Amino acid sequence: MTGGLADNGVAADWIACLTYKSSATASPAAGDLDLLVAKARARNRSLGVTGMLLFEDGHFLQTLEGSPAALETLWSSIRQDSRHNHIEVLSEHIVTARLFSDWDLLLDGRINDGPLNLRAAVALPPAVAEHVAHLVELSLNADDLGLNRLMAAFADDGWTADAIVSLLIEPAGRALGDAWLDDECSEIDLTIGLSMLQLAGHAVRYSPSPQTIRNSRYRVLLATAPGEPHMLGTTLLADQFLASGWQVDMAFPASEEALTNQINAQHPDALDIGLSDAVPRPHALTQLRSAVEHSRLVAAEHPTVISVGGRLFAEATATARTVGADYARSDVAGTSIKLAELVQRNRQR
Ligand SMILES: Cc1cc2nc3c(=O)[nH]c(=O)nc-3n(C[C@H](O)[C@H](O)[C@H](O)COP(=O)(O)O)c2cc1C
């Protein structure tokens, strides 16, 4: 494992939990993934490893859990597998109980209009898209009780916090934006729906992680882009960074000056500036570029790692380079780990 979970003295019955994403090196043919999963299931069972594997649009997302030693063995095979590359570890935890206790490897595939129908091959889970649609409906109806119940049900079913946020809540935010762009709901409906999703995000529980101790000295300022009214991503990040032990400050600045004043006052190690997660606003990129540039100038004496996010980055319309940032998050999952790495690198310079 990247962090060596096996040898840091945890109790023998604790469970290591690893989530990563990667890109398929070639488009798998109909039988390829079935074969991969059949073999993986057999090996996972023999190693006592459980988890889930998602495949969508050429990307894998996998969560694996098992004894630190078993995971170490498996991970050294998986990370060398030439069927995927650009492997990015999103989270690595030690937990006391399994989330995927009954699933030796749950596969869910979503390939738009493709020849594969992987979901037909497995009984579980019901389509992720249906969950997203359900989430959108509850949000538009401002049904907070229903949302809380749904979040609790996902956790009971073994969904990790990262999976709930990046596979359900963030896509639901984009779906709400689409509904507004298509005139299917009013702007006020969109605002209410997004705040309902924020509440749903607060109900997501992150497991305690070894990161907590490691990052306790880091301070992050989580800001919406100047004048940006949508704050879903920023609030989702707040829960994640707090759970990882960061000191968290938040800013919803009306102007670039308000943002730079706050940076000046707080000297954060990392700054995240979020555009709307619901609607793509390409014209906002010019202002974001200016906000990033000026944030760097005020932070000159205390170099700050700057990350950006929002729907334009989730859909790869823009990159970190477009706006001069150090990192662009394509989703919220794993951001605190990525920024911790960048802050560490910054300090070693
Ligand atoms: C995205 C992806 C996920 C995989 N997941 C698993 C898994 O959960 N369990 C497993 O045994 N093999 C999995 N494999 C296959 C392993 O990489 C490897 O081929 C297999 O474990 C045999 O290992 P070996 O070649 O070291 O003998 C996965 C491969 C890919 C590309």
> Which is the closest atom of ligand 1 to the Cα of 64?
8
Q: What's the CATH number where 144 sits? A: 1.10.1240.10
CB of 40 closer than 6 angstroms to any ligand 1 atom? yes
State how many domains the chain has.
Answer: 3
The 3-state secondary structure of 203-254, one letter per residue: HCCCCCCCHHHHCCCCEEEEEECCCCCCCHHHHHHHHHHHHCCCEEEEECCC
pLDDT score for 122: 26
User: Which residue's alpha carbon is nearest to atom 30 within ligand 1?
Assistant: 78
Name which residue sits closest to atom 7 of ligand 1, judged by CA: 40
Both 199 and 217 in one domain: the answer is no
Instruction: Walk along the chain (349 residues) and give the pLDDT tens digit of each residue.
Output: 433 344 444 455 678 888 888 889 998 876 788 788 889 988 998 999 987 787 777 888 787 888 999 999 999 999 999 999 999 887 777 766 665 655 666 555 433 323 222 222 222 244 677 888 899 999 998 888 899 899 999 888 888 888 899 889 999 999 999 999 988 988 888 888 898 898 888 888 776 655 544 545 799 999 999 999 899 999 999 989 988 889 999 999 999 999 999 999 999 999 999 999 999 988 889 899 999 999 999 978 888 999 999 999 998 888 999 999 999 998 898 899 999 999 988 887 6
Q: Check pocket membership of 43 for ligand 1, CB cut-off 6 A.
A: yes
**The pairing of beta strand 219-224 with beta strand 270-274:** parallel
Q: Which residue's CA is the nearest one to ligand 1's atom 4?
A: 78
What is the Cα–Cα distance from 106 to 124, expressed in whole angstroms? 7
52 lines ligand 1 (CB under 6 A): no
Helix (H) or strand (E) holding 195: helix 187-203
The pLDDT assigned to 70 comes to 94
CA 106 to ligand 1 centroid distance, Å = 14
- Supply the residue whose CA is at minimum distance from atom 1 of ligand 1: 60
Instruction: Compute the distance from residue 21 Cα to the ligand 1 centre, in Å.
Output: 14
Q: Which residues form the domain of 191? A: 128-203
Report the nearest-CA residue for atom 25 of ligand 1. 77
Regarding whether 184 and 240 lie in a shared domain, the answer is no
- Which residues, 6+ apart, have CB-to-CB distance to 153 below 8 Å? none
Pair 216, 327 in one domain: yes
CATH number, domain of 323, equals 3.40.50.280
Instruction: List all residues 6 or more positions away from 58 whose beta carbon is below 8 Å from its beta carbon.
Output: 23, 24, 27
66-120 per-position pLDDT tens digit: 899 999 999 999 999 999 999 988 777 776 666 565 566 655 543 332 322 222 2
Among residues of the chain, what percentage have pLDDT more than 90?
40
31 & 117 share domain: yes
Q: Which atom of ligand 1 is nearest to the CA of 77?
A: 26
Three-state DSSP class for residue 53: strand
Both 103 and 145 in one domain: the answer is: no
Residue 119 Cβ < 6 Å to ligand 1: no
Same-domain pairing of 147 and 165: yes
Cβ-in-10-Å burial (0-12, 13-18, 19+) of 108 comes to buried
CA of 81 to the centre of ligand 1 (A): 7
- 51: exposed, middle or buried (Cβ count in 10 Å: 0-12, 13-18, 19+): buried
Ligand 1 neighbourhood includes 105 CB (under 6 angstroms): yes
Residues 221, 279 share a domain:
yes
How many angstroms is it from 77 CA to the middle of ligand 1? 6
Ligand 1 centroid – CA 209 distance (Å): 25
Residue of minimum CA distance from atom 12 in ligand 1:
40
For residues 58 and 35, state if they share a domain. Answer: yes
- Residue 84 CB less than 6 A away from ligand 1: yes
pLDDT score, position 167:
85
10 and 38 belong to one structural domain = yes
Domain final residue pick, 203, 232, 258: 203
Domain identity same for 224 and 189: no
